Chains A and B, each alone.
Chain A
Amino acid sequence: MKSALKILPWFFLALFATEIVVVMLPKGEGALHTKEFGRLPVLLNGRIQPFDSVARNSLLQMRSAGDVPLEFVTNKLGRVEEFPGWKFWHHPKKLKSTDWLLEVFFKPEAADTRPVFLIHHPDIISELKLGDKGIEKSGLRYYTFSELEPALPEIERQGKNADEVKDEQRTTYQKQIVKLSNAIMLYGRLKNSIQPQDTHNFRQLIEEYKTTLPGGLAAIRAQQSGEKFDEEAMMKFARLAQQFDVSSSLALPLVVPPLDAEKERNGWTSTGASLLGAMRSGEIHPAVDFLARMATAYAHDNAAEFNSAVAGYKNWLAPKFEKEVRKGRAEFYFNQIKAFLHATIIYISALVLAGGALLTFGTWPQLSESLRRSAFYLIGLAFLVHTFGLVFRMILEGRPPVTNLYSSAIFIGWGTCVLGWILERVYRLGIGSAVAGLAGFVTLLIAHNLALGGDTMEMLRAVLDTNFWLATHVVVVTLGYASTFVAGVLAMGYVILGLLTPILSVSVSQRGAGKNATGAETNIGKALTKMVYAIVCFATLFSFTGTVLGGIWADQSWGRFWGWDPKENGALLIVIWNALILHARWGGLVKERGLMNLAIFGNIITAWSWFGVNMLGVGLHSYGFMDSAFNYLMAFVGSQVALIILGCLPLSAWKSFQKSAEPPVAGGLEKMAG
């Protein structure tokens, strides 16, 4: 038994570490070299990214997930459902993001049968008469393009109506319909991004274009100078040119690199535009030739030809666009390993283990220590995975860690993990690991939901385009958020554990003795108080320094140190709140529980500064506007207020303080805490 408990932490570490290693190992290709295709660089949102990122971000926007299910079951009610996720022993077949994009590009009739459009507003479903169609998954409905096709005019009409209403005044219905019509638009644009929609043999189309080009041009010139011209040649040519014109106006990623890599590195264009440009040069761009080969080969299931075209294109691209090719490969790898998803899983596991350690602290000390160690090791592993993802992102972007709301969530999670790990090193109670696990899990969950808006590595608007200030002000202020949250989470733990369990009064020094050392100086409650106090000090330091650095940035770029802008005020609120906690503590205005309640209120203030001010939509900083998060924010505030009310309950209601028979001891505890 004893040795089993000793091995347990290493077992957990080995289990999760193995999974990470397996994820990070390079994967082989199937018959079609679709992964190699997914790595090819394109230009979208002003930045070079692989086809795979285009696919993944589009899918996230359309169906809130990065892949497409291929296996379905019929449930008892006769409805078609996605294969249930809880049956983890069976890996249902899925279409990976790049594979889906290939279908959209080159086999649209297959792509039209994939359930990629998410609708979850019942009114929309009934209005579009979609009630008996679609695929269900946990109450959500996914539809294929073919299913939506009859309703397209109605969706477009409703979408247009809703689009005229200001974003913040839209009803849920209107928001959903705008989202749906945007998703359909995005889908249509992707379909036209390489070849004109409904082309079956792109290669042949281009050959045709090549042959009609000289005759067509001659005919146009003749017509313009008023001479006799070959009408048929001109019509044939014009019909093709018109198709390319339409596809170039719809194309989303720009897939054709500039011919002269030295002169205009960013002059990427679409296949349609490049083909129209051939009117002047008379030559077809080599990239278009390669893409046409891929298109035709894929449409006709010719794997050898497809693979050779992909390899050929890569070899053509590599010498001139070495940086872009490397970026495509790196980002593809980053997409595949899903570092933050794996970190999330490890965080939640560590949280469960640390919780177990805390609950068995007094009753089964050996098990408690074993679980605590397991959680501690896992937090260390999660930290490594989280850091790997964070640094990888920074290198891909060439930016400091925080550039938008999404990355601020990632970074706050990272900061809380570091602080929790340090707390655990010092106190060895399982509390630090629990904080790191909970905060890491929640912040990465928030990040995941923020990623549903689209590309998370978007280019920075002009005013933010300064790595120096992003690396100093933004990083420090975000660490201030993170540490204020850590103090708040510790305080939440204090209230919940104190009310429901006797743990707070368990002695730390006599760990393992299993007795309630009421009034002993070093019980867990005291330890938590020390932790909260120390973290609040850190939070004051970080938030003050960060806020002041922000003022200096503002002075450097706008000529004023302080402008009472909402984001500035939000940061200042955190500074003032932390200062208030410290002064209230020094002045003896609050004792143990008071400190905890103040720290919990710090969560509300930090959440408001982080998200709330972005919802106001005023001021120079309002770059991350968002709406649906408002309800979550309110729910969070409500939960914190509830905890504060619970924290104000008289000591007799606290399980941790009522055990002892003599009431004066509880009072004595209070006094001691002061």
Chain B
Amino acid sequence: MLERLYRIFTSLKLTVVLLALGLILIFWGTLAQVHQGLYDVQNEFFRSFFIYWHPAGSSARIPIFPGGYFVGGLLLINLFSAHLRYYKPGARKIGIAMIHLGVVLLLLGQFLTDMLSSESTMHIRAGETKNYAEASRSFELAVVDTTDSDSDKVVAIPAKLLAGGGTIAHAEMPFTIKVKKFFVNSSLSEQSTNGFAATGADAGFGADLYWVELPHETAMDARDTPSATVEFMGKSGSLGTYLVSGFLRSQQFEADGRTYDLALRPVRFYKPFALQLIEFRHDKYAGTDIPMNFSSRVRLLRPDKGEDREINIYMNNPLRYAGETYYQASFDRDDQGTILQVVHNPSWLTPYFACLLVAFGMIWQFATHLLGFARKQKAT
């Protein structure tokens, strides 16, 4: 039995089957992007063990096809065991071994990237200085105690917690927060037309606004903007129901003689340094609207290390700093602000090593084969 299993796992047949499955998976995953968008497809097809089918009207999840981790994982096992079984040291096989080791590294590297990397954005207006990046897709409810003018106390509640409903308490807050309603994606209006309904808020901006729930966005260039109504419960009862939303700036309220700022905002990642946007440029080719270049001249400020220098970030030339990559991703419509994508990927070097290994292996293999072929041709 074990013998048979060993044979299956080391067989070339399994390799071919897995490659074919990978092929179908990638093809399907590419087609699915038309409707589902790149981000969702990545999670559903490539960063998963199975692709699930959700029958309409039921909450069942039925696995119908192996996902990226399943195929990739089996390929890894197949590769390792096949080499254990067949590998014989010697000049002829060393190329093959190098190629496969490189492929292993590539697969592992992609897995590590999925596990360890994170992406966020930094939006800076011209002249502005920022010391934090914001998550592209996840929001948090920030409750900031601003009573002391020299330091703020921040309690950040992930939007996922709000989505679960219920009541939220924290030692730093002299009140609890009761989530009344939460929309993953929403729109606000000042009028109650086109399906916009009253929010039910009785304090803050929300008292005069109307809202509507929108379906989850899947397009590459679109994002969800969540909204929620939350009620603050002090010792002596309700302190008011507020509308919080990704569309609104922060609102102030008082409790227990202290002042709080309240905002539903993209999750923030603070940095030990700051970037100031000196100038954003959007150059076009003469006489056309075809973009020639987008570039951001920024000033990097890090007082604790005495760093203060200017950097130009443009297409194909990102800033790599403190283990992160800042690249030119987008810009404001008025060309007065830049949006930098911030990628943190500790395993970014693995593909480079992997590629070198595979390249050397392939060159070795083909060179030896070609020489052999040339010799044979000469002989005949």
Q: List A residues at the B interface (Cβ < 8 Å).
A: 43-47, 254, 266-268, 426, 458-459, 461-463, 465-466, 469, 534, 537-538, 540-541, 544-545, 548, 551-553, 555-566, 569-570, 572-573, 576-577, 579-580, 583-584, 586-589, 605, 613, 616-619
Q: Is B116 an interface residue (CB 8 A)?
A: no
- Interface SS of chain A: helix, strand, loop or mixed? helix
A586 CB contacts on chain B under 8 angstroms: 12
Contact of B315 among A465, A552, A559, A577 (CB under 8 A): A465
Nearest CB of A to B251, in Å: 35
Contact of B26 among A459, A537, A545, A573 (CB under 8 A): A573
Nearest CB of A to B211, in Å: 29
Task: Please indicate which of the listed interface residues A563, A565, A584, A618 has the most CB atoms of chain B within 10 Å of its own CB.
Answer: A618
Nearest CB of B to A49, in Å: 12
Give 5 A-B pairs besides A560-B117, A563-B38, A584-B16 with Cβ atoms closer than 8 angstroms: A47-B285, A254-B286, A548-B359, A561-B110, A564-B42
Given A558-B327, A569-B30, does the pair A545, B285 have CB atoms closer than 8 Å? Answer: no
Q: Is B337 an interface residue (CB 8 A)?
A: no
Q: How far is the CA of A573 from the CA of B29 in the complex (A)?
A: 12
A45 CB contacts on chain B under 8 angstroms: 285, 287-288, 290
- B19 & A583 in contact (Cβ 8 Å cutoff): yes
Which residues 1-56 of B sit at the A interface, judged by CB distance below 8 A? Answer: 11-13, 15-16, 19-20, 22-23, 26-27, 29-31, 33-34, 37-38, 41-42, 45-46
Residue total for B at the interface (Cβ-Cβ under 8 A): 61
The closest CB in chain B to the CB of A542 belongs to: B362
- B34 & A616 in contact (Cβ 8 Å cutoff): yes
A619 CB contacts on chain B under 8 angstroms: 33, 38, 220
B324 CB contacts on chain A under 8 angstroms: 559
B326 CB contacts on chain A under 8 angstroms: 559
Q: List B residues at the A interface (Cβ < 8 Å).
A: 11-13, 15-16, 19-20, 22-23, 26-27, 29-31, 33-34, 37-38, 41-42, 45-46, 109-110, 113, 117, 119, 220, 284-288, 290-294, 315-318, 324-327, 329, 341, 343, 345, 348, 351-352, 355, 358-359, 362, 366, 369, 373, 377
Nearest CB of B to A614, in Å: 12
A-B pairs with beta carbons under 8 A, tally = 165
- Interface SS of chain B: helix, strand, loop or mixed? helix
- A587 & B369 in contact (Cβ 8 Å cutoff): no
Given A43-B286, A268-B286, A544-B358, does the pair A564, B366 have CB atoms closer than 8 Å? Answer: no
Nearest CB of A to B297, in Å: 16
- B316 & A556 in contact (Cβ 8 Å cutoff): yes
Contact of B345 among A560, A577, A587 (CB under 8 A): A560
Nearest CB of B to A206, in Å: 23
- B377 & A426 in contact (Cβ 8 Å cutoff): yes
Q: How far is the CA of A254 from the CA of B287 in the complex (A)?
A: 8
B345 CB contacts on chain A under 8 angstroms: 559-560
- A616 & B33 in contact (Cβ 8 Å cutoff): yes
The closest CB in chain A to the CB of B284 belongs to: A46
Nearest CB of A to B280, in Å: 13
B318 CB contacts on chain A under 8 angstroms: 556-559
- A583 & B16 in contact (Cβ 8 Å cutoff): yes
Given A46-B290, A466-B316, A616-B31, does the pair A576, B19 have CB atoms closer than 8 Å? Answer: yes
- B316 & A463 in contact (Cβ 8 Å cutoff): yes
The closest CB in chain B to the CB of A578 belongs to: B19
Q: How far is the CA of A267 from the CA of B286 in the complex (A)?
A: 7
Nearest CB of B to A532, in Å: 15
